[in-house]
Amino acid sequence: MTYVLIHGAGDAGWYWHIVAAQLRSRGHDVVVMDLPVDDDSAGLSDYADVVVHAIGSHENLIIVAQSFGGYVAPIVCDRVVGVMLLVLVAAMIPAPGESAEEMLVNTGYVEPKQEDSSEVAIFYHDVEPTLAAEALSRGRRQSETPGKEPWPLIRWPDVPTRYLLCRNDRIFPAPWVRRVVQERLGIVPDEIDSGHTPALSHPVELVERLESYGAYSLQPFSRGGRPMNESSATLPEADSRVKNLIRGFHGVRYQVKEVARSIDFYTQHLGFKLEHKQLPAFAAVSLEGLPLLLSGPGASGSRALPNGEHQEPGGWNRIVLRVDDLTQCIEVLKEAGLRFRNEMEAGPGGKQIQLLDPDGNPIELFEPAR
């Protein structure tokens, strides 16, 4: 797995030096670059060119973008092959044809009032003083050119995207970020107790977050369907005829009674993204690349079986969603009036509980042991 680390405005690749060292010590390749931030002739395409050149022949990419890097990273995702995940950290989220300056206006951004408006107080207030001083010394003049340039893509790239919000950010307030992430990406952001620069203030926790994204969602698979780091000698080969016919994972199907109601449930309460709908029979939603197919009574995937048995909602098989704080998650969902099948259970691997959708289909919420 290769982590591609993109810094923000007026900064340098040095910003990631602690995170990069941690990731390399865990066996990953890391790509870091200096964007041409002080070049007035360089626009967004030029910034992306620098990243693409740095990536070279690396594969199995997780692209991580800080702050203004959010305007660059999606362009990179659109240009290179092998991007497994895009992670935005305290980042801006562009819309087609919208400049960074326009994004702030269009999303109702209000710059927070600061008692101390120094760079240290705003960007590095939770960073160790010596490290903060070095960060300031390595800062570079940021050209206004890319901030005024319309974002060139016509849509968000077709890459799973995660957003890590910094709760103590003094430049991008958490309430504003939560709203913008949900409006523009259709997801609920993950959160970390950090200021705007977590790669310096909380590097170990940031690395753990990045590793968890990769470990749970993005392990690369070979053509045969096994993890690439697993010995092929330990498992029997599948019939070659089957391998040639099965093209990949398509999704998980749930039987539902009212598709529109199910769309509201999964998108509003669990952060799924609506991919397709054909009401009243069918819809598809997704989370981190996991497609969930919602089949109503009129869908072909809901028809009675040859023996007359009807396909009904419910059962014990279920999708499992990972959460950071299960207790808090339960409280929020109960406040919203949602139903649970059981009480929270705890074991050596972590804690879990089963949430029910409107038709009784179970969704397990799981918090791994730390």
Domain ranges across the chain: 2-217, 245-368
Q: Please give the single-letter amino acid code of residue 262.
A: S
pLDDT digits (tens, 9 = 90+) for 186-238: 888 999 999 999 999 999 999 999 988 876 444 443 323 333 343 333 434 54
For the chain, percent of residues with pLDDT exceeding 70? 85
pLDDT (0 to 100) of residue 370: 67
pLDDT (0 to 100) of residue 326: 87
When pLDDT is averaged across residues 321-329 and rounded to a whole number, the result is 85
When pLDDT is averaged across residues 85-113 and rounded to a whole number, the result is 94
Mean pLDDT is lowest, of 93-97, 194-198, 208-212, 320-324, for 320-324
pLDDT (0 to 100) of residue 163: 94
Please tell me which residue, 168 or 245, carries the higher pLDDT value: 168
What is the pTM assigned to this prediction?
0.61
pLDDT (0 to 100) of residue 302: 67
How would residue 367 be classed by pLDDT, with cut points 50, 70 and 90? Answer: confident
2-217: CATH number: 3.40.50.1820
- For the sheet containing 290-295, what is the strand order? 252-255, 290-295, 282-287, 273-278
Q: How would CATH label the architecture of 245-368?
A: Roll (3.10)
pLDDT (0 to 100) of residue 348: 66
**Which whole-number Å values give the CA distances from 11 to 198, 207, 337, in the listed order?**
14, 20, 45
pLDDT digits (tens, 9 = 90+) for 250-303: 678 888 999 999 999 999 999 999 888 888 888 889 887 788 888 888 775 567
pLDDT (0 to 100) of residue 345: 82
pLDDT of residue 242 exceeding 60, the answer is no
Find the distance separating the first CA and the last CA of the chain, reported in whole Å. 23
Mean pLDDT of the chain: 85
pLDDT (0 to 100) of residue 238: 47
For the chain, the C-alpha Rg in angstroms (whole number) is 22
Which residue is it, tokens 């209000």?
Answer: 110
pLDDT (0 to 100) of residue 177: 95
How would residue 76 be classed by pLDDT, with cut points 50, 70 and 90? Answer: very high
How would residue 349 be classed by pLDDT, with cut points 50, 70 and 90? Answer: low
How would residue 25 be classed by pLDDT, with cut points 50, 70 and 90? Answer: very high
CA distance linking residue 296 with residue 365, whole number of Å = 24
How would residue 240 be classed by pLDDT, with cut points 50, 70 and 90? Answer: very low
pLDDT digits (tens, 9 = 90+) for 106-143: 999 998 888 888 999 999 999 999 999 999 999 999 99
pLDDT of residue 174 exceeding 60, the answer is yes
pLDDT digits (tens, 9 = 90+) for 48-66: 999 999 999 898 899 999 9
